Structure 1
Amino acid sequence: MDAHKALITNIFNNSTLVEVPFFQRSYVWKEDLWGRLLEDMEFVVKTKKPHFLGSIILKEGRKPRQGENFADCRTIVDGQQRLTTFLIFMKVLCLKLGQTALFDCQFRIMGQMIALRHGRNDIQAFEKVMTLSKAEIIDNPEPASRIIGAFNYFVEHIDESKLDIMTIFVNTQFVRIDLDADEDEQQIFDTINSLGVNLTTSELLKNYFFNRETVGEYERKWADVFEKDDETKVYWDREIETGRIKRAIIDIFFDSYFQLFIQDKQYNISNEDKLMYSRVDRLAQSYQHFINKYCGGNKNIVLDQMKEYAECFRNNLKPNQCGMSIPKEEGIERINVVIFGLKNTTMIPYILYIAKNVQDKNELNKMYGILESYIMRRVVVHASTKSYNNLFTSLILNKVLDSQTLTLRLKGIGDATTYCPDDNEMKIGFETSKLVNLQSKGIIYLLESKIRSDNSSTALLGFNNYSLEHLMPKKWRNNWGACATEDDAKKRDSLLLTLGNLAIIPQALNASIRDAAWNVKKAGKGQNKPGLLLCASGLYTLHDVLQKNDWNEHEIENRAEWLLANAQNIWKI
């Protein structure tokens, strides 16, 4: 990597072609940023002092083909927006000053092709404005092009009497960062992040797999899967919390898909490379390294199955399921709540693996049921999730594709970080575990969906439509009376955070009801401040709670025992 100060004349030098990656995002600057650039240029001319316009990251590009007249090619990693805007600004200014020869000398290669070559989304509009011979507003039909919009803005707003081309050339400065062909542009981009926009794994991969000469293949293998229509784009672009960060679903897919190759024993991947491949912040580079080292450079080994796995992913993995009712039967709908509602995204690679490769639907659903039971038993006992990634990738490595083998694997784990809790540990969990609200809500919701009658007059809502409620409020001292001793008070404080005292309800109670005495909490204070009888009637996990005249430690323990019995019956392995 070489970083240094550069003038615009050092970036465009009559022999270097600067290319926007063919599939990179569109030009997006709007009037506020066009206006800021114009003000900056007027300030430069007025003060005749150097002005910094930001950083430009350029990577060593392709070699010229026969008939192409450039000597060097650089690919833009970061800086497309400001370089594009600057050239449009200079084009209009030179037209207004009658200096088109100066523009062509500086920004065309050998006076011919424009030295900035745009990508798929903007190439026609950019080359159109670069060939214009008059500084006049041109038509910009819908869908409007931001490139043409910028040209028209500068035509309308540039006052050439306030600007001088040579002063701008001499004083407009950039920090130019040049990368070699094998350097990791994603890591460098994210570190500098001068525009505040992440360079996503999918964008890097798209430009690695396809180019200007393989547009037909791109349409079949990529666009038809990830960019087919607005609904498709919304699905793949949606961001999901994975640990401490948010990632687009398309990037989660590529992470999951890559695991299928990493864990395939036929490639005999070294432990050192597996460790490197586990870094999500360098996933695109890992794909390239894997293809070059283990596939002999053959990209089709990855591309040939990508469409089928991507379609399988979208058909099965649905974050929106958390907003919809789920069946009581074992299946992918319930697993979606476990993954996206309870944030167990490390399961996704194995779920994709079995969804694609287990053909027997009954067997597949049985496996989903086993996985739900395993995860929920661990949630109840507040077990760690830190080794889930190793666990689920090991199931892929060992080609676990049937329920019997899956059961033996999960029950046979001796590792304290991934073992399967037994019924006795479940009992302790229901009696003592103090879980975060999301986990408690997940336990009770999934139990509710299982034990409710098929003929219930109350419909089950989606996971996201319920709130968690403490039946005995955390602020019980305000309205529930004092305990006989301080030890009794401590016991009550401890019990009210356990599962026996927790319920899901379809709407949060008003604060004055939430902390009220038991009889008021049940009945509410009129329609505007409903209580549990109105909000929670029909929920099976409340069992006979709403018929209780009193709610106390004894009732909490009884309900925990009742919930435990249901959980042990439902979450079997």
Structure 2
Amino acid sequence: MDAGKSTISGVFNGSRLLEIPFYQRAYVWGEEQWERFLGDMEFVTASKRPYFLGSIILKQASSGNTWSEVSEVRTVIDGQQRLTTMVIFFKALCARIDADRLFERDFVLETGEVALRHGKYDRQDFEKVVSATGCEPVEGSSSIVLAYNYFLKNIDPEKVDRNTIKSNVQFVCIDLTEGEDEQQIFDTINSLGVRLTTAELLKNYFFNRENEQAFKECWEDVFEPTAEKREYWEQEVVTGRIKRTLVDLFFDAFLQILVQDKKRGVTTEDKLFYSRTSNLFQSYKDFIGRYCNGDKDEILDSMKAYAEVFESTFDPGYCDADIPSAPGVERLNVLIFGLKNSTLIPYVLYVRKNAESSGEESEVFALLESYIVRRTLVQATTKNYNRLFTSLILNEVKDAETLRKALEANEEATTYMPGDDEVRRAFEESCLYNLQSKGVLYLLESAIRPGMSSTALLGFNQYTLEHMMPKKWRNKWGALDDEAATRRDRKLLTLGNLAIITHSLNASIRDADWPTKKQGKGYKDGLALCAAGLATMAGALEKESWDEGDIADRAEWLADKALEVWR
């Protein structure tokens, strides 16, 4: 077995045929993976840094399967999805820049065959894609064809450079001989290995026998003094597509604050490299080497203070407890962990550490909450949040007035502050994801409920979302013509028809007529019990009937309340 680092040109070396065996599964990547892959290639182009794309396992083909036209044949044991995507990506890129000859030079053998041969499931569509000419989409519905058409449509030749990608994308290539057991090696790599966390890697990097006292003061006393503290830092939360621990989120946020310090003069390219969470450990090493003259103590001096602020600020447990009506860290935690807005963390940490007063801090948090909720309501993209919030750190925005001016001056479609008319229209028309609808209603409920309410507000996680007019209305709510039914189907997904309740209704109640849905039946609870005392349900449960007009009226009332809360 040989194992080592390899570039794209090393894997596709001009005389080697890589064959995907017939028994392997078909190509299964979808748009989520293609979008991430394209983003990775744009990152490689912009940063011009080495980028690790994972390991691939190749095995020498059995002696009974030799081809005289090529010098060597390797069976792809692991890495089919990445290798296939790589070839499709370069085919689409070369089509976009009208350079098919470059694709042929990199990926086509002297025999005229592409250096990656697919198995029975995808061979026909793969060959259709790699033999395509011009820049027109390929017809077909397989994932292979859809991947090619996706890249053809979304590649921006200004943002992806073929030579930069070829030079910097790296694999660990494991090359097996014919007699080696690939299954054992595959299982070991994918199942038995224990990956060191970022925190463990950093601990080993920062400390040794010569600075044991620094280890105690800056690490042990902060992250590991008690079992309770360790449990806090090791909590896992979902951010984007992956689970991350709180300690990992801290080191990410702390690094973003460090690199935005103007005195350090970090280049735009390096900031881009340091923003990749997958590179966090390497980013710290690189940053300390380039911008701290290798002095680790420079980082340790401020790390402890920021870690203590982080611990007093961020906790997913806030999603399980009632929160106050006034803006503050409790409500922000629901926005961050309940509604999955983890890109807020670096800026919130920066404000908490550097705001001049608790009053200024509260005003900043009120404005942040308004900004995020308004954009959620109008279904605005979160794509450039990271760039926005790091720019606020860069410009030392730590008071509400400066933040307000920064947001008002920001006219980019991807990060602007939606106005009142858009918010009002969103309550009438927007069909949000269930989690977003639940979050908006919960935060609104917590802000407008009377201080002496007879019912207690539970934590965000204790509520579920309910459609007051059910999605399956056709069974019990009367017949409509097709046009009216289509309008109703959309209207019932808007906020005027949604409620947060303490537990899910029984299916027989959920889809029942309005009187039964309100009161329940027998031992099965209805809305009257599950939504009792909720301020956001004011007047709704007294209605004798419930239709599109009632949904519109409640949407208008909710919008009025929202505009009072999120000014």
* TM-score when normalising by structure 1: 0.66
| 1:318-365 Cα distance to aligned partner (Å, 9 max, x none) | 110000000001111111111111000000000000001113111111
> Whole-Å Cα distance in 2 between the matches of residues 212 and 469 of structure 1?
58
What letter is aligned with 2:554? Answer: R
CA 1:297–1:569 in structure 2 vs 1: closer, same or farther (change >3 Å)? same
Please name the residue that 1:242 is paired with.
239
* Of 529, 533, 548, the match for 2:528: 533
Please name the residue that 2:357 is paired with.
360
Kindly indicate whether residue 267 of structure 2 is the aligned counterpart of residue 260 of structure 1: no
Q: How does 1:147-546 map to 2 (within 5 A)?
A: 192=189, 195-483=192-480, 485-526=481-522, 528-546=523-541
| 1:229-253 Cα distance to aligned partner (Å, 9 max, x none) | 1111111111111111111110100
> Whole-Å Cα distance in 1 between the matches of residues 261 and 532 of structure 2?
51
Q: How does 1:85-96 map to 2 (within 5 A)?
A: none
Please name the residue that 2:33 is paired with.
none
What letter is aligned with 1:383? Answer: A
What letter is aligned with 1:508? Answer: S
Please name the residue that 1:16 is paired with.
none
1:3 is paired with a residue of what secondary structure?
strand
> Whole-Å Cα distance in 2 between the matches of residues 193 and 227 of structure 1?
30
> Whole-Å Cα distance in 2 between the matches of residues 468 and 341 of structure 1?
14
> Whole-Å Cα distance in 2 between the matches of residues 435 and 303 of structure 1?
43
Deviation at 1:176, TM superposition (A): 13
2:505 is paired with a residue of what secondary structure?
coil
> Whole-Å Cα distance in 2 between the matches of residues 481 and 561 of structure 1?
25
What letter is aligned with 2:563? Answer: Q
Deviation at 1:192, TM superposition (A): 5.0
Please name the residue that 1:119 is paired with.
none
Please name the residue that 1:561 is paired with.
556
Please name the residue that 1:126 is paired with.
none
> Whole-Å Cα distance in 2 between the matches of residues 193 and 279 of structure 1?
23
What letter is aligned with 2:566? Answer: W
Aligned residues: 388
1:197 is paired with a residue of what secondary structure?
coil
2:304 is paired with a residue of what secondary structure?
helix
Deviation at 1:311, TM superposition (A): 0.6
| 1:511-539 Cα distance to aligned partner (Å, 9 max, x none) | 1100100000011012x311111111100
> Whole-Å Cα distance in 2 between the matches of residues 199 and 542 of structure 1?
49
> Whole-Å Cα distance in 1 between the matches of residues 532 and 285 of structure 2?
56
CA 1:517–1:194 in structure 2 vs 1: closer, same or farther (change >3 Å)? closer
> Whole-Å Cα distance in 2 between the matches of residues 350 and 272 of structure 1?
21
> Whole-Å Cα distance in 2 between the matches of residues 450 and 193 of structure 1?
48
> Whole-Å Cα distance in 2 between the matches of residues 419 and 272 of structure 1?
25
- RMSD of equivalent CA atoms: 1.9
| Structure 2 portions without partners, runs of 5+ | 5-54, 56-171, 175-187
> Whole-Å Cα distance in 2 between the matches of residues 243 and 359 of structure 1?
32
> Whole-Å Cα distance in 2 between the matches of residues 544 and 395 of structure 1?
42
> Whole-Å Cα distance in 1 between the matches of residues 543 and 191 of structure 2?
61
2:546 is paired with a residue of what secondary structure?
coil
What letter is aligned with 2:328? Answer: G
Bigger shift: residues 263-272 or 347-356: 263-272
Deviation at 1:569, TM superposition (A): 1.2
> Whole-Å Cα distance in 2 between the matches of residues 249 and 356 of structure 1?
18
Kindly indicate whether residue 3 of structure 2 is the aligned counterpart of residue 3 of structure 1: yes
> Whole-Å Cα distance in 2 between the matches of residues 412 and 275 of structure 1?
24
CA 1:213–1:507 in structure 2 vs 1: closer, same or farther (change >3 Å)? same
What letter is aligned with 2:546? Answer: W
CA 1:176–1:407 in structure 2 vs 1: closer, same or farther (change >3 Å)? closer
Deviation at 1:215, TM superposition (A): 2.3
CA 1:196–1:555 in structure 2 vs 1: closer, same or farther (change >3 Å)? farther
| 1:161-216 Cα distance to aligned partner (Å, 9 max, x none) | xxxxxxxxxxxxxx999xxxxxxxxxxxxx95563433211111000000133222
Deviation at 1:3, TM superposition (A): 3.3
> Whole-Å Cα distance in 2 between the matches of residues 534 and 398 of structure 1?
50
CA 1:255–1:510 in structure 2 vs 1: closer, same or farther (change >3 Å)? same
2:466 is paired with a residue of what secondary structure?
strand
> Whole-Å Cα distance in 2 between the matches of residues 270 and 242 of structure 1?
27
> Whole-Å Cα distance in 2 between the matches of residues 478 and 176 of structure 1?
59
| 1:258-286 Cα distance to aligned partner (Å, 9 max, x none) | 01111001010112211211111111111
> Whole-Å Cα distance in 2 between the matches of residues 381 and 538 of structure 1?
28
Deviation at 1:486, TM superposition (A): 1.3
Q: How does 1:94-113 map to 2 (within 5 A)?
A: none
| 1:116-138 Cα distance to aligned partner (Å, 9 max, x none) | xxxxxxxxxxxxxxxxxxxxxxx
> Whole-Å Cα distance in 1 between the matches of residues 550 and 191 of structure 2?
58
> Whole-Å Cα distance in 1 between the matches of residues 189 and 254 of structure 2?
28
CA 1:394–1:542 in structure 2 vs 1: closer, same or farther (change >3 Å)? same
Please name the residue that 2:152 is paired with.
none
1:214 is paired with a residue of what secondary structure?
helix
> Whole-Å Cα distance in 1 between the matches of residues 446 and 314 of structure 2?
19
> Whole-Å Cα distance in 1 between the matches of residues 490 and 505 of structure 2?
22
Identity of aligned residues (%): 57
| Structure 1 portions without partners, runs of 5+ | 5-54, 56-174, 178-190
